[in-house]
Amino acid sequence: MTEPTPSSAPTETTAVHPRPGAAARSGTVRLPDRTAGPAGVLLDMDDTLVDFSRASPAALAEVLGAEADFTTWMALTDHWYPHFTSGRLSYQALERNRLAEMLTVLGRPVPSTAGLDELDARRKRAVESRLRLYPDVLPFVRRVRAAGYRIGVLSNSDGRQQRRRIARLGLRPHLDAITVSGESGLAKPSPESFFLACDRLGTPPGRTVHIGDSLDNDAIGAHRAGLTAVWLRRKAPDGTPVPAGIAVVTSLAALTP
């Protein structure tokens, strides 16, 4: 997850790396040719379409207090997340385990399951009250839909939560399909999650682009499933090597029909 600075406009830069660690090339990423048949665009949700990493720390502090360290929260997320993506835990179980461990770190009693759910529901409401679309999102989806592409969301999260957020942020009219791991039981980076999203979108993997902020779950996962993979890096590059065949952009404006 990234923490963007909304006041600074991202650079429209892309890179397709012929080998790990190769230098970036400036330019744009072109979407599949629509004249050859149906083509689609899949988008991750958090930190791709919405500024989750800005909203989440403030919400955590509101609900658990200023002493609730967001770095610790993210470390707990990183610990439990693979259990979810591998199918060993439901997303709700991930949330309960993470919150219980956070309360333990803070030296507070851990409530019942119902109490954990109520407390986390408060945190999520606080997150949602702060969520905003990135400035490049609506211009991008309008431009792509006008060009005849099908657009979908593919998210690793809770289904009801993501559908509610999509509706509240005004994205639903722009989407042809929504696929959420909490509903399907298939999480990125598994190829099956991408195949299902493409099937719902009505476009084959080879004519579908997937865009997301996670190198592993979004870009590498999509590439292995046969999609055109685009890693959206809204913050400054940190030198992370990028595998061959993955495009890197810092703004959705860098993708053109």
pLDDT digit string, tens, across residues 31-45: 999 989 999 999 999
- Lookup result for tokens 């682009």: 209
For the ranges 48-57, 138-147, 214-223, 236-245, the lowest mean pLDDT is seen at 236-245
What pLDDT is attached to residue 87? 85
What stretch of H or E contains 247?
strand 247-249
Q: How far apart are CA 221 and CA 170, in angstroms?
A: 28
Position 114, amino acid: A
Among residues 255, 251, 243, which one has the least CA distance to residue 17? 243
Q: What is the rounded average pLDDT for all residues in the chain?
A: 89
- Model pLDDT for residues 78-89, shown as the tens digit of each residue: 899 889 888 899
State pTM to two decimals. 0.84
Among residues 184, 176, 223, which one has the least CA distance to residue 203? 176
For the ranges 95-109, 188-202, 230-244, the lowest mean pLDDT is seen at 230-244
Among residues 215, 166, 163, 168, which one has the least CA distance to residue 188? 215
pLDDT at 195 over 70: yes
Average pLDDT over residues 182-202: 95
The pLDDT > 70 percentage for the chain reads 89
Q: Quick one: pLDDT band at residue 221, thresholds 50, 70, 90?
A: very high
pLDDT at 125 over 80: yes
Cβ–Cβ contacts within 10 Å for residue 125, how many?
12
What pLDDT is attached to residue 85? 81
What pLDDT is attached to residue 236? 74
- Model pLDDT for residues 139-180, shown as the tens digit of each residue: 999 999 999 999 999 999 989 999 999 999 999 999 999 999
The DSSP letter of residue 50 is B
| Structural contact between residues 150 and 201, judged by C-beta atoms closer than 8 angstroms | yes
If DSSP codes are grouped into helix, strand and coil, which group holds residue 173?
helix
